[in-house]
Amino acid sequence: MKILMIITGLGMGGAEHVVINLADELATLGHEVKLAYLNGEIEVKVSPKNPEVELISIGMHGSKDFAKAYIRLRKLVKDFKPDVVHSHMVHANIISRLLRLTIRIPKVISTAHSSNEGGKLRM
């Protein structure tokens, strides 16, 4: 199965560790896994151990880059043709759901790693 995981960033938080471990395990089980991160730098401690997991920087550095990030993600989905897009954290969840408006994605799973995603608008 082809799985595209999308996360807001790959800093040192707990959600990042969960996503990296999940990507590693899915690749070990034989799935083709790509992990796209919207912004920030990769912390060495949270890089995937499995060399089969491809990391892709989307290069979104604030709301001014939203359109460019959307286009890059859309192209990634179009080229990779994932069976599942699994997004993590609020910004990645929002952009992943919006992608479905312009391109076919068989399954989208959005995971919130906190019961408080931000203010009223985000919730």
pLDDT digits (tens, 9 = 90+) for 53-72: 999 999 998 889 999 999 99
Which pLDDT score is estimated for 122? Answer: 47
CATH of domain 2-111: 3.40.50.2000
Structure tokens at 15: 């959600």
Average pLDDT for consecutive 10-residue bins of the chain (123 residues)? 94 86 96 94 75 94 91 97 96 94 95 67 49
* pTM higher than the cut 0.75: yes
Which pLDDT score is estimated for 123? Answer: 46
Which pLDDT score is estimated for 2? Answer: 98
Ranges of each domain in the chain: 2-111
